[in-house]
Chain A
Amino acid sequence: MPNDATALATRPTTTVSSWGLSRSGASVPVPVEWTSDPVRVPGGLSVLPHGLGRSYGDSCLNDGGALLLTRRLDRFLAFDPATGVVRAEAGVSLHHILRLVTPHGWFLPVTPGTKYVTLGGAIANDVHGKNHHVAGTFGRYVNAFELVRSDGSRRTCSPTENADLFGATIGGLGLTGLITWAELRLKKIESSRVYVESFRLQNLDDFFDRNAESLDWEYTVSWMDMHARGRSLGRGQFMRGRHADASAGALSDERWPDAKLVVPFRMPDWLVNPLTAQAFNWVYAHKQLAHFSASHQRFGPYFYPLDFVHRWNLAFGARGFFQYQCVLPPDRAREAGRAVMEAVAASRLGSIIAVVKMFGDLPSPGWLSFPRPGLTFALDFLNTGARTVALIRTLDRIVEEAGGALYPAKDAFMSAAAFQRAYPRWKELEAVRDPAFSSDFWRRVTGSPT
């Protein structure tokens, strides 16, 4: 059992933190290097696949158990530049996929806000991006993958073969087994630039109007000032974009360099505190944002602004931070959205940037997929202790009352009741979960002992 002290005492463990640095677990590291490797389960322990560890809460942790480290499972199996189909081992990062495919005129069909996630991780969290309203989630573009389980079985899963495991594994948080390789359909592009239009938003109503007239744009996203109140509630910037045509910039321009700037150590708490964050936000909101601007942007700044700084999460101080992402159903979006923003503003807990978007209604093949129609907010809060937790609980109540959901990849607090209500198919996942696979998150939200 995972908390068997004697089992752990005889094996070397590593303490692994998730990306928010507020949660960590001691686990036995089990490197996986070849797709032909069987799933090695150290006696008496549960296992969980672990890629680049970009999840924020505890969905990528297995305290007291073992982690199947997939970093060296990073080979390409095939890529067809004519059809844009790529097959790669589960530890290949989206960064390396982009490096390989963009010179040939292909892009990720769906990309999250960082390219430093593994292919396996992107599937396990069924990640989404700025184009959800027209493209849906990552899982929609997965043709097939191979799933290896602790009983030694190896299955190729697709919509037509082992379809149950296919649906359970997409968004399944690594609990159905180890993905060894996956095949992805890419999107055709003509240039290395994105054409972007930005609009100043006066308030939340402005956001809904602007969004409604931008539904045919490929990418839309906004940021909002979480300290604004009253009539300025929801002020910020709305950005819409589409891939530019070939004249805007040659595909060969983009080399995808590795991040050079590094946050070398955790910032001391006194440097990063609620006041500093508020000041930053105030300055950001009050600088003379043009009412409208348009430009061609390169992929890096447009899709991955935070990736420029390696280990940016260390800038949040010793106690780390919490990421919080919720979705509010369309019929409650305006009022619940307002309630969320007012709660955050009143708390003065310094969420620096709120990223806001309307999800579309394209269904995912994954059983436990987070994105569903409605308004999604992604926020982060410095971990200042009890007050942060109290705010998060307040937000949880707003979300619950509105019939919304929280994103497991970012979650550290969701109650079992809230999870089970928002993800009714969790029981089906539990039924096909590999009995040797478990995570801190799963134990927390399902109360299952392993």
Chain B
Amino acid sequence: MKLVVFGATSGLAQQVARLAASEGSALHLVARDPAKLSAVAADLKVRGASTVGTTVADLSDLATIKPAIDDAQRTLGGFDTVLVAQGVLTDEARASTDPGYLEQALRLNYVGCAFIAEESTRRMTGGGVVAVITSVAGDRGKASNPAYGASKAALAAHLSGLRQRLGPGPVTILDLRVGQADTPMTAQMKKGALFASAEVVGRGILDAIRARKDVAYVPGVWRPLMRVIREIPEPIFKRLKL
């Protein structure tokens, strides 16, 4: 695999990258913090990656995206898999009162991710998989995270459109609807029974990439769960505390 990872220092990205590295894949990593990025890169080298390139970039600055992809293309001599894993779990109270913050969160969680998907597709002339981590939170907006859910819903809709525009062909657009995962992003949340370990989710993501799925719920139990959630009539849904 020739894999480009955006948001490479995130919990899930590290798990997927480790699995890819242990098979001897070549990787290019993009993240914001140089020290963390270099720690992840060193780890992946030791675990067996044939090549590990890095680009330091703050992906909420959209101008950094094309140069990062150029770097990846140079390091890997072309790539066949992209994992888009950057994102921030929005501070919902702040998003409700501060439109500038809301916009910034949307830029990182939706705009940047969508643009990476678009640009990668243009570069992957040999085919491959563009895998984008969205969330079950995007399936239906709920009280606890409307802003986060909205950004992921926007991303999922965009991926769906991109997928249809491309039609059947060598490039697969994979929408990874990840459920609750036990990673540093959710460190402050109380962990219920549905939380899955980062390792389990990482493995699920890699399996979905290999199987070239279009939309994958990871772990799979979320597919039937979200179908139920989506079907609840609004007069009832609005009374629930989710």
Given A31-B187, A72-B11, A72-B184: A36 and B47 interface contact (C-beta under 8 Å): no
Provided the pairs A12-B190, A72-B11, A72-B184 are in contact, do residues A35 and B46 lie with their beta carbons within 8 angstroms? no
Complex partner residue of B46 from A12, A31, A33, A78, CB under 8 angstroms: A78
Interface residues of A in 309-348 (CB under 8 A from B): none
* Closest Cβ neighbor of A77 among chain B residues: B42
Q: Is A34 located at the chain interface by the 8 A CB criterion?
A: yes
Are A76 and B43 in contact (CB-based, < 8 A)?
yes
Measured in the bound complex, the distance between the Cα atoms of B33 and A36 in whole Å is 11
Of A33, A34, A78, which one neighbours B42 at CB under 8 angstroms? A78
**Residue pair B47, A76 in contact (C-beta under 8 Å):** yes
CB of A75 within 8 A of CB of B42, answer: yes
Q: Does residue B221 face the partner (Cβ distance < 8 Å to A)?
A: no
Q: Does B35 sit within 8 A of A, measured CB to CB? A: yes
Given known contacts A76-B47, A100-B46, is B11 in contact with A35 (CB within 8 Å)?
A: no
Residues 20-57 (chain B) with a chain A CB within 8 angstroms = 35-36, 39-40, 42-43, 46-47
Q: Decide yes or no whether A79 CB sits under 8 A from chain B.
A: yes
A31 to B188, CA, bound (A): 10
**Range, interface on chain A:** 10 to 19
Mostly, the B contact residues are helix
For B148-165 the 0/1 string (1 means CB < 8 A from A) is: 000000000000000000
Is the pair A77, B46 in contact by a Cβ cutoff of 8 Å?
yes
Cβ < 8 Å to A, chain B residues 49-71: none
* Smallest Cβ-Cβ distance to A96: which chain B residue: B47
Contact of B39 among A12, A75, A79 (CB under 8 A): A75
- Chain B interface residue count: which class? 10 to 19
Instruction: Give B43's nearest chain A residue, CB to CB.
Output: A75
Min distance, Cβ B89 to any Cβ of chain A, angstroms: 15
Q: Please measure, in the bound complex, the distance between the C-alpha atom of A78 and the C-alpha atom of B187, giving whole angstroms.
A: 28
Nearest CB in chain B: distance from A177 CB, A: 19
When C-beta atoms are compared, the residue in chain B nearest to A12 turns out to be B190
With CB as the reference atom, state the residue of chain A lying closest to B36. Answer: A34
Task: Report A-chain residues with C-beta under 8 Å of the C-beta of B42.
Answer: 75-78
Residues 174-227 of B contacting A (Cβ, < 8 Å): 184, 187, 190
A1-41 interface mask toward B, CB cutoff 8 Å, 1 = contact, 0 = none? 00000000000100000000000000000010111100000
Contact with B along A98-119 (1 / 0, CB 8 A): 0010000000000000000000
Chain B residues near A78 (CB-CB < 8 A): 42, 46
CA distance in complex: A79, B48 (Å) = 11
- Contact in complex: B39, A34 (CB < 8 Å): yes
Measured between beta carbons, the chain B residues less than 8 angstroms from A72 are: 11, 184
The one of B11, B36, B43, B190 in contact with A36, judged by C-beta atoms closer than 8 angstroms, is: B36
Question: What residues on B are CB-neighbors of A35 within 8 Å?
Answer: 39
A33/B190 in contact, CB under 8 A:
no
Contacting residues, chain B, for A33 (C-beta < 8 A): 184
Bound-state CA distance A33–B9 (Å) is: 10
**Contact across chains for B46 and A76 when beta carbons are under 8 A apart:** yes
Assess the B43–A77 pair: CB atoms within 8 A: yes
Residue of B nearest to A34 (CB): B36
Asked if residues B46 and A34 are in contact (CB atoms below 8 Å), the reply is no
User: Which residues from A are CB-within-8-Å of B43?
Assistant: 75-77
Pairwise interchain contact A36-B35, C-beta atoms closer than 8 A: yes
| A79 lies within 8 A of B11 (CB) | no
**Distance A354 CA – B188 CA, assembled complex (angstroms):** 43
Complex Cα gap A78–B41 (Å): 11
- Determine how close the nearest CB of chain A comes to the CB of B200; give it in whole angstroms: 12
Give the complex CA separation of A105 and B235 in angstroms.
65
Q: Which residue of B lies closest to A36 (CB)?
A: B35
CA A76 to CA B48, docked complex, whole Å: 11
CA distance A212 to B190 in the complex (A): 56
B48, closest chain A residue (CB):
A100
CB distance from B218 to the nearest CB of A (A): 19
Minimal beta-carbon separation of B138 from chain A (angstroms): 26
The distance from the CB of A450 to the nearest CB of chain B, in whole angstroms, is 26
List 13 extra interface pairs beyond A31-B187, A77-B39, CB under 8 A. A12-B190, A33-B184, A34-B35, A34-B36, A34-B39, A36-B36, A36-B39, A75-B42, A76-B42, A76-B46, A77-B43, A78-B42, A78-B46
- Can you give 18 A-B contacts (C-beta < 8 A)? A31-B184, A34-B35, A34-B39, A36-B35, A36-B36, A72-B11, A75-B39, A75-B43, A76-B42, A76-B43, A76-B46, A77-B39, A77-B42, A77-B43, A78-B42, A78-B46, A100-B46, A100-B47
B interface, CB within 8 angstroms of A? 11, 35-36, 39-40, 42-43, 46-47, 184, 187, 190
The 3 closest A-B pairs by CB, nearest first: A75-B43, A76-B46, A36-B35
